[in-house]
Amino acid sequence: MYSCLPLTQSQSYLFAGLTNTVYPGAVHSRFEHSLGVYHLAGEVAYRLRAQQDPDFPVEDFDIKTVKLAGLLHDIGHGPFSHTFERQFLPRFLSGAPWSHEDMSISMIDYIVDKHHIDIEPECLKKAKSPTEKQFLYDIVANGRNGVDVDKFDYLVRDSRACGVGCGFMFPRLMGSMRVLGDEICYRAKDYLTVYKLFSTRAEMHRTVYTHAKVKGIELMAVDALSKANESLGIADAVQNPGEFWKLDDTILKRIEVDERPELKEARDLVLRIRRRDIYQFCNEFAVPKEKLDHFNDVTPQDIICSQKSSDVTLKEEDIAVSTVQIDLTRGSSNPLESVKFFQDHDSTDKFTIPVEHISHLIPAVCQDKIVRVYAKKPELVEAVSQAFENFQMTTYGVKGILATPEKKRNGKRLFPY
């Protein structure tokens, strides 16, 4: 099965596919991550087999299937990871939403047929969709509570590459997990270790994946892809695995070196990214917790309508808005409410643990929503910043404190790079 992996080798792994523009060490690929998940999935499956009831065995075929699922779980991702799926594609696809999970299944079928790979049909079938032994499928991507080896790998790998440190230690969970009632459960005394998984993920999103400058560069990349879409047929490729696998992070280089006049706008945006002439961050605010359930996305038009007196008249194309959601994997819900625990290794009962029985330091609200506004041209930073502050005061009665420094407001760059 390794013959399929080079298809994704030049695709970045990180949740934000352009993170390496801010964290230069983050140049690891989805290929490396896939191998890591493949290895950890096998390790967990072997450990569970050693602990399992003989009447409900984990067989060699099951372990092979789990490892295969780990190896191929992300093969359906497009260039720049979730940025492509969540920001670029919605501009061009109508109807049913496209997902990298569905494309992964299509890609597996395509690879097997195209390269005549000899693999048991039953193994492929089980790797793609669960039929029995649900706990085996939770090893790689746990839809029940979010505790899975996919996170084990990328949190440690990304933290190390970005130099931010990682307090989560997955070997402790791997060493004690058990299957009770077809569900992977954890020792009650490891409750805070499980919480650390979710809190580490949230912290990585806050400090790395959704870094303000990373998001600004992402917005530029999405604009460049959008302007090049008609000429290069980027969005059309997602309907055909035979074309989709050709899309990777080199798409920006393709735009940069293509001299066709119709690609000039896209090419200019890519060159701006190369020269570090990026969209300028103006300000941000965190949506009040009482407004989270009924929040409406902020648009450039909202900002324009809040502009008062100014030397320039802003237009929608002058402004970019990014809404960032940071949570513990389950939106506003606490994923710990879905994690099952056991008392000790002689226990046969599983149960949930109310958070207040463990700690009062674990937050009651499990979601942040942050709105950031960018000026697409340096000379417009002052006008956009002021309009956004007016919008915040009108809407929420307060304004964000992370405003653009005065030097940048006047169109000057603090640093030459």
CA pair distance 150, 144, nearest whole angstrom: 14
Q: Are 78 and 85 in contact (CB under 8 A)?
A: yes
Cα 141 to Cα 5, 156, 268, distances in angstroms: 19, 17, 39
CA pair distance 104, 76, nearest whole angstrom: 4
Q: Where are the alpha helices (DSSP H) in 249-312?
A: 251-257, 264-274, 300-305
CA pair distance 41, 15, nearest whole angstrom: 20
CA 18 to chain CA centroid, Å, is: 12
CA pair distance 161, 381, nearest whole angstrom: 32
> Is 73 designated active site?
no
The residue assigned the tokens 């954890």 is 186
The residue assigned the tokens 């696809």 is 93
Q: Which of 73, 77, 100, 205 is catalytic?
A: 100
CA pair distance 232, 255, nearest whole angstrom: 9
Q: Where are the alpha helices (DSSP H) in 294-353?
A: 300-305
Three-state secondary structure call for residue 213: helix
> Which residues does the annotation mark as catalytic?
100
